Chains A and B, each alone.
Chain A
Amino acid sequence: MARAPNKTPTFHRLFIANRGEVAVRVARACDDLGIAPVFAVSEADREAPWVAGRETVCLGPARAAQSYLDPVRVVAAARQSGCTALHPGWGFLSENPLLVSLCETHGITFVGPPAHVMHRMSKKTPAKRAMRAAGLHVIEGSDGVLADEAQARAVAERIGYPVLLKAESGGGGRGMRVARSSGEIASAYGEARSEARAAFGDDRVYMERLVEGGRHVEIQIIADRWGNVCHLGERDCTVQRNHQKLIEESPSPVLDDGERQRTLEAAVQAARSIGYVGAGTMEFLLDEQSGKLLRFMEMNCRLQVEHCVSEMRSSIDLVHEQIRVAAGHRLSFSQSDVALAGHAIECRINAEDPNNDFRPAPGTITKWHVPSDAGIRVDTHVTEGYTVPPHYDSLLCKLIAHGPDRNAAIDRMLAALAELICEGVPTTAAMHCTILASEAFRSHRYDTRTIPGWSAGKGS
């Protein structure tokens, strides 16, 4: 995209510690900027289409724990292949402070925030405290970790039932328990603690008011090392299944302008106050029970899968900016240069069978065709004949549609979905068509608990 000048000196060689669609996305930015990418691969990905003709280092066996998820192997491979920078992509080790520290120790520039910022934001209550201090609304709850059951009861009486007990080091929906009355506090407190100890090795828990059926809104931030922080607007990721996002769009169709503007400015201030560097996302819950406020949930210290939605609206290439910023340059734009135009929607096409409880379906893709219409962007690593390995996640491709308004973007997406051909494995494409064509989606009558236009028991 036009704004990043390609002549800015950055790095000669950059290590891509990721696979699939993520590696393809980062490599495209490297090619644009004149950087030679070196790809990490596992044994299962040695012959993958996205590394054909590229330089690779094999990290280990197919199992991610012994390859893509081993920070020591990743940094050793980056170092001995002569790379001076490492891009973690998203997923795998992208939010692992150990990887960042290892990079710092071994003289490799990590494309992302400093280790101490990442470590702080990975713990829930310090993150919440920092965000509240910067002027963001947070979900009411205990001020820090709960000392004992009596304190849990006292906090619950103060903020009102139902309440949610959450693990301090948690994530992915584990170590969480709901208590709907004072009688349920004892068991919820005990169960959340034991689950947190088993899952994360840390049994500290804290409490929040349970916000039921809110909408998931997040703000894209990018910052440089010179204290410049910009936002690229918000994204609405309310269409989810089991905390896995299915459709993301920008702008949020239900957010009012006053709350949007206030929160965007507060988010920029918050990112500046914690010394954030690189691309990051602050996740909020739009609390429709109490005054339609955006309440901070957590910060993702990395680029996200759905960053393309913000790129389509702003015409800014976030991976270019990430790499430039990591090399010590200033952002190539200021907030006043950011012009967010139209409406963008992203659908994630997964190799899953939506009629069979979203069961992942590895296999060989016998026929593959992606749309190439105006206003459509396709991010994929798949080619015809590619065998989807059973070891990694099921994302095959992302379709992003951009249009002057929401209805135009939806129509473009429906046309693109109709043109997409994937044979050999079942995909979620047909489910996206059903959702986008539904009245519930068009009129925004849904929250994180329901998939609009799609009933859970359908077909099974």
Chain B
Amino acid sequence: MATWTPDGRTKRPELAARMANHGDGWQLLAPTVGLFRRGIAPGAIVRGGVSLGELDVLGVLHDVVAPDGCAGVVAPVADQHRGEVAVGFGQPLVLIVAAAALAPTGEGDEPAAGAGEHARLVFPAPLSGRFYARPGPDRAAFVTVGAEITRGQTIGLLEVMKTFNRLTYGGSGLPERARVIAILAKDEDDVEAGTALLELAPL
């Protein structure tokens, strides 16, 4: 299955991920059945042709590359892929959020460096459920726009199957401290796992 370059090295076969619109970004979906490994890290910049990870299809490693026409920053997800994940056709691999500075026709030099400058950092919901921004109806919200938050700080509640869970700030790809730029989910919104709740700027 490997293709050969003229100097004799093998080159992994490439598969373009499928793409679905998702809010103000895209979901990149598995192009076939396989074991997905080495997924791209949150915060990295993605453009058409960038490798998103490798897909093991019955022992043959394929590079999964981003399709043309998408550009953005990899959003952190709650159940960050660790090790390998068995994926079916059309299963989401990566969520990317469009970044204003990254038009799909970007000039394309030095993509990885300086990603933090333009990357839109978001804090996603770890589970599907109902989001509460305040501890009680007559209490102040956990966080406000412009506030600084640190790892471990409670930023809201998530009611999942009649159980209230504290949402504590943290997660891979997120800085130790950050400033809240926007609260994306409204109080008592029903959110899906992975839905961005807070937009952040690193401090």
Q: Which residues of A contact B (CB under 8 A)?
A: 43, 56-61, 67, 72-73, 75-77, 79-81, 102, 106
Contact = CB atoms under 8 A, between A and B. Distances in A.
A76 B89 contact: no
B90 A76 contact: no
B58 A59 contact: no
B35 A58 contact: no
A81 to B, nearest CB: 7
Given A73-B33, A77-B33, A106 B90 contact: no
A60 B89 contact: yes
B88 interface: yes
B64 to A, nearest CB: 14
Given A73-B32, A73-B33, A80-B34, A59 B89 contact: yes
The 3 A-B residue pairs with the shortest CB-CB distance, nearest first, are A80-B86, A58-B88, A58-B89
A191 B66 CA distance: 47
Nearest to A102: B58
A77 B57 contact: no
Q: What secondary structure prevails in chain B residues at the interface with A?
A: loop
B57 A76 contact: yes
15 contacts: A43-B90, A56-B88, A57-B33, A59-B33, A59-B89, A61-B89, A72-B58, A73-B57, A76-B33, A76-B58, A77-B33, A79-B58, A80-B34, A81-B86, A102-B58
Nearest to A74: B33
A58 B91 contact: yes
Given A77-B33, A80-B34, A57 B58 contact: no
Interface residues of B, number: 11
Contact of B90 (A58, A73, A79, A102): A58
Contacts of B58: 72, 75-76, 79, 102, 106
A57 B33 CA distance: 8
Contacts of A67: 89
B34 A60 contact: no
A77 B35 CA distance: 9
Interface in B54-105: 57-58, 86, 88-91
B86 A73 contact: no
A77 B88 contact: yes
Contacts of B35: 80
A43 B58 CA distance: 21
A60 B86 contact: no
A56 B89 CA distance: 11
B33 A43 contact: no
Nearest to B34: A76
A76 to B, nearest CB: 5
Output the residue of B57, B58, B86, B88 with the most chain A CB within 10 A.
B88
A99 to B, nearest CB: 12
A428 B33 CA distance: 37
B60 to A, nearest CB: 8
Contacts of B34: 76, 80
A73 B91 CA distance: 14
Output the residue of A67, A72, A102, A106 with the most chain B CB within 10 A.
A72
Given A59-B33, A75-B58, A76-B34, A43 B89 contact: yes
